[in-house]
Amino acid sequence: MKRDQFYLPNGIIYLDGNSLGPVPKAAAARVQQAVTDEWGEQLITAWNKAGWFHQPRDLGNRLAPIIGAQNGSVVIGDTLSIKVYQALAAGLNLRPERTVILTDSGNFPTDLYMAEGLIKVIDRDIELKVVLPEEVGKHLDETVAVMMLTQVDYRTGRLHDMAELTKKAHEVGAVALWDLAHSAGALPVDLEACHPEFAVGCTYKYLNAGPGAPAFIYTRPDLADKAEPALSGWMGHNKPFSFERTYTPSPSVERMRVGTPPVLQMAALSAALDIWEDVSLHDIRAKSIELSELFIAEVEKRCPEFLLISPRDSALRGSQVSFAFEHGYPVIQALIADGVIGDFREPNVMRFGFTPLYIEREDVLNAVCILEKIMREKSWQQEQFSKRSEVT
């Protein structure tokens, strides 16, 4: 769909855009411009002249349509972990009498860790209840302050029904917080219709904004002036440059800003968002399903050792496909050595992301051929592939 707008190295089939998207071709020049023309020439005055100060809001508004959010409801900054903390703290604050954060075992660990950390700081008797993904609905009751879920399971690709679960949460008076790390840019998300209180996500996966790109946070417009930001930094102050001694939060979602925004990363994000201007998320979804179905069918035909652990029904799956295999780690290493980049997640999961902006049917077919060859030749049994490195 937009392959010509990305740089993809020769001979590489990149099935890991669900972890880190590739470089938009325009990003290098945009970042360079931020370094030389803005920082270099304008120095401190670029905060006004180059619009740095308002980037978190402006880029938030450009990202908003991708997740079905209203103008003025999204702000960019920090990391996803930080934004989870803010949203969760704000959610608990909206339900001071309740005692449970409900989440599931498919949530990304950092969301659970941030919740753990917050509970320790808070000194309020809060339970982090981790249930099976399919049992979240059953555990929603009037003890639940916040239902905190990642829509797409990072390990299996299992997709939650955001509309349905948010509705159920609201029926029992719980606040809904969605982590869209593996949804934003992967499938249509309609925050306005689903009406959760908070959503957060990152921009370095399907949105292709680069390593360590900033996160985003959505606050439902009716809560924009009520949600307590918890991390009440000066950039979220109503008048940051008045340097008042006490904190008065911005009346908008900008209260969720904390410190100085990462301008160079913002430049890359800006280039990445350009690509989305005329993309239909429904087209993305259709192609994502087509590629994923093709991959599943071909892998099951040619590599019977692998067990599909993603939902077979595409309606219940995000834009990645995972197979379990006892020797998944060396197989992924051998694949990478042969130019097919997927990744591995403990204990035995081989993950493959299908990112329709730049992946085609041909890539999928070629990737499966190489996978089949590796399994047939058993090249993954070579010593060089068996040692686990720290980051995979």
Q: Which is nearer to its own copies, 146 or 281 (CB)?
A: 146
Residue from the set 215, 253, 335, 367 that interacts with its own copies by CB under 8 A: 215
Q: Among residues 205, 255, 257, 287, which one is catalytic?
A: 205
Neighbouring C-beta atoms of residue 124, cutoff 10 Å = 12
DSSP 42: I
Segments of the chain assigned E as strands:
6-7, 13-14, 23-24, 74-77, 100-104, 127-131, 144-150, 175-179, 198-202, 215-219, 307-308, 320-324, 340-341, 343-345, 349-353
Taking alpha carbons only, the member of 61, 2, 15 closest to residue 270 is: 61
Q: Which is nearer to its own copies, 194 or 271 (CB)?
A: 271
Q: At closest approach, how far in Å is the CB of 280 from its own copies? A: 26
For its own copies (CB under 8 A), the number of binding residues is 95
DSSP 317: B
Interacting positions 369-388 with its own copies (CB under 8 A):
none
Say if residues 314 and 289 touch (Cβ distance below 8 Å). yes
Residue 204 as a binder of its own copies (CB under 8 A): the answer is yes
Say if residues 15 and 353 touch (Cβ distance below 8 Å). yes
Phi-psi domain of 210 (left: phi exceeds 0; alpha: psi -120 through 50; beta: other): left
Q: At closest approach, how far in Å is the CB of 126 from its own copies? A: 11
Q: Which is nearer to its own copies, 45 or 381 (CB)?
A: 45
Q: At closest approach, how far in Å is the CB of 44 from its own copies? A: 5
Residue 145 as a binder of its own copies (CB under 8 A): the answer is no
Assess whether 351 carries a catalytic annotation.
yes
Assess whether 6 carries a catalytic annotation.
no
Residue from the set 230, 281, 299, 331 that interacts with its own copies by CB under 8 A: 230
Assess whether 354 carries a catalytic annotation.
no
Asked if the bond preceding 251 is cis, omega within 30° of 0, the reply is no
Residue 389 as a binder of its own copies (CB under 8 A): the answer is yes
Interacting positions 294-323 with its own copies (CB under 8 A):
none
Q: At closest approach, how far in Å is the CB of 245 from its own copies? A: 6
Interacting positions 22-51 with its own copies (CB under 8 A):
22-23, 27-28, 31-32, 34-36, 38-41, 43-48
Residue from the set 71, 138, 247, 365 that interacts with its own copies by CB under 8 A: 247
End-to-end CA distance of the chain: 28
Q: At closest approach, how far in Å is the CB of 152 from its own copies? A: 15
Residue 237 as a binder of its own copies (CB under 8 A): the answer is yes
Q: Give the DSSP H/E element, type plus range, for residue 276.
A: helix 263-276
The strand pair at 144-150 and 100-104 is best described as parallel
- x/- mask, its own copies, residues 79-98, rule CB under 8 A, reads xxxx--x---x---------
The strand pair at 349-353 and 320-324 is best described as antiparallel
Residue 211 as a binder of its own copies (CB under 8 A): the answer is yes
Residue from the set 1, 130, 131, 279 that interacts with its own copies by CB under 8 A: 130
Assess whether 301 carries a catalytic annotation.
no
Residue 214 as a binder of its own copies (CB under 8 A): the answer is yes
Residues 305, 107: Cα–Cα separation, whole Å: 27
8: helix, strand or coil:
coil
Q: Among residues 14, 85, 108, 154, which one is catalytic?
A: 108
28: helix, strand or coil:
helix
Residue from the set 164, 259, 305, 365 that interacts with its own copies by CB under 8 A: 259
Say if residues 201 and 184 touch (Cβ distance below 8 Å). yes
- Residues tagged active-site: 108, 179, 204-205, 351
